[in-house]
Amino acid sequence: MRDSALNTLALFASFGTLLCCALPALLVMLGAGAALAGIVASVPQLIWLSEHKIGLFIFAAAMLALSGGLRYQSRNAPCPIDAIKAASCKRLRKTSGIIYIVSLAMYAMGFFFAFVAPYVIG
C-alpha cells in the first residue's frame, strides 16, 4: 500500500513538471500561443509552477528516487499464499511499475522542455 501511494505521489509530482514546462513549450511550438494564453487566464497557478520550476523538479526527482528505491527494495517481497490475494498483489505490482515508468517519462519530458530545449532550440 505504501509503495502504491508513493508511486501515485511521484506521478502527480512529475505531472506538475509536465504542466509547468512541457505543455506550454508544446503549445508554443505548435503555434497555439493563443490557446496557452487562454489556459493561463483560466488557471493562473501555472505561472506559479513555472516560476518555481527548480523546486518543483527537485521535489519530483526526490519523490521518483524514493519511489524507485522502495520498488527496488520490495522487488522480491513475497505475495500472500491465498490465490486471490496473490493475484491482487501481482496486479498491484504491475500497475505500480507502469505508474512509475509513466512518471519517469513525464519527468524526463518536462526536464527536457524546461532545461535542455531552451539551449538547443534557442
Q: What is the dihedral of CA 75, 69, 98, 88, to 10 degrees?
A: 40
* Number of domains making up the chain: 1
- pLDDT of res. 27: 79
- pLDDT of res. 84: 93
**What confidence tens digit (pLDDT) does each residue in 56-69 have?**
889 889 888 988 88
**Within 10 Å of residue 28's Cβ, how many Cβ atoms?**
12
- pLDDT of res. 49: 80
Separation between Cα atoms, residue 103 and residue 81, nearest integer Å:
31
pTM of the model: 0.78
Which range marks the domain in which residue 39 is found? 2-121
Tell me the three cell numbers of residue 50. 513555472
Separation between Cα atoms, residue 117 and residue 13, nearest integer Å:
21
Q: Please, which residues have CB within 8 angstroms of residue 45's CB and are 6 or more apart in sequence?
A: none
